[in-house]
Amino acid sequence: MLAFFFLLAVVSTAHPQHSYERLSIYFAGDIMQHEAQLKAARTAEGAYRYDSCFSKVKSEIEAAQVAVCNFETTLGGAPYSGYPNFCSPDELAIAVHNAGFDIFLTANNHCMDRGARGLRRTIATLDSLGIAHLGTYRNQAERDSLYPFIISSGTMKIALLNYTYDTNGIPVPEPCIVNIIDTTIIKADIVRARKLKADCIIACMHWGTEYRTEPDNSQREMEEWLYNHGVDHIIGGHPHVVQPVRTLPDYHGRASEHLTVWSLGNYISNMSAPRTDHGLAVTLHLQKRGDVTRMTGYDLHPNRTIRPQFIVEGM
């Protein structure tokens, strides 16, 4: 779908020049890899195949100009494992990418499941596969050069931010960096995104309370803080169930409305708790006219995981 250029983590896509420009971004929920999924993907020869997992939603993903997912596992190398310490075969990342996902979010509470080695190998593998990503970094210099992540389409520049509430208590040893929800850090990142002349800033937040179908107080407080400090839209994950979507008027004149997606839920997993077998993807439609970039609408794509084949389908 896109040609990738990694200077300042810029993703560029050819776009004709008109009096206005449009960009559609598809956001999917948590891509997880439990033990049952590993067993289902393993072939008789000992390899792993995942292409069928996304065959029913591939056209939906590719309909957008850019597709983003929360990659909630590590690529730490064999031996592979499911919960509680996720580590997946590289073939999973390849299949997700082949399905049409351009950008992987890696700041989530499982990104340190294989320690610093797993974090570094995940980054190196995604880089070797030509898969753009944001949220975790091998060192500060790498973060400085690649973050905020910029999607470039014509003259439109969209900044993506990604943060997690925690890493399940696993320390992040220096010099590795995981983007943690910290208002001092986020404020500096927002300022830098504006200095990079981002027309729109979208914060992808790994937050909230697991299995809760409504946002908690920490989410609501952070939503208000993010909008007051320059974020235009918020896409949330982590609760593993779908939470409401809402729009708010923008009193700062940056956009027509703010879009908050509290939680997209799971995109694919083997979780058994109520409502964890389905999720929600959202396509955000942006338009730039002159110097103003605004949301013109959004589409909701409910989905579920068919088991035991582990195939994602629309609902």
Q: How many domains does the chain have?
A: 1
Task: State pLDDT tens for residues 241-289.
Answer: 999 999 999 877 776 799 999 999 999 999 999 999 999 999 999 999 9
Residue 18: predicted pLDDT: 54
Residue 13: predicted pLDDT: 53
The domain containing residue 115 runs over which residues? 3-314
Residue 251: predicted pLDDT: 73
- Contacts of residue 110, defined as CB under 8 A and 6 or more positions apart, other chains included, come to 72, 73, 74, 86, 167, 168
How far apart, in whole angstroms, are the C-alpha atoms of residue 133 and residue 273?
A: 29
Residue 250: predicted pLDDT: 84
167-171, 181-185, 254-258: least confident range: 254-258
| Whether this model's pTM surpasses 0.95 | no
Residue 1: predicted pLDDT: 44
How far apart, in whole angstroms, are the C-alpha atoms of residue 106 and residue 265?
A: 16
Structure token pair of residue 144: 């400085």
Half-sphere exposure of 232 (CA within 13 A, CB side): 23
- Residues 134-140: what's their mean pLDDT? 98
How far apart, in whole angstroms, are the C-alpha atoms of residue 213 and residue 117?
A: 35
- Contacts of residue 248, defined as CB under 8 A and 6 or more positions apart, other chains included, come to 227, 257, 258, 260
- Contacts of residue 45, defined as CB under 8 A and 6 or more positions apart, other chains included, come to none
How far apart, in whole angstroms, are the C-alpha atoms of residue 42 and residue 281?
A: 27
Report the CATH number that the domain containing residue 66 is assigned in CATH.
3.60.21.10
Residue 179: predicted pLDDT: 98
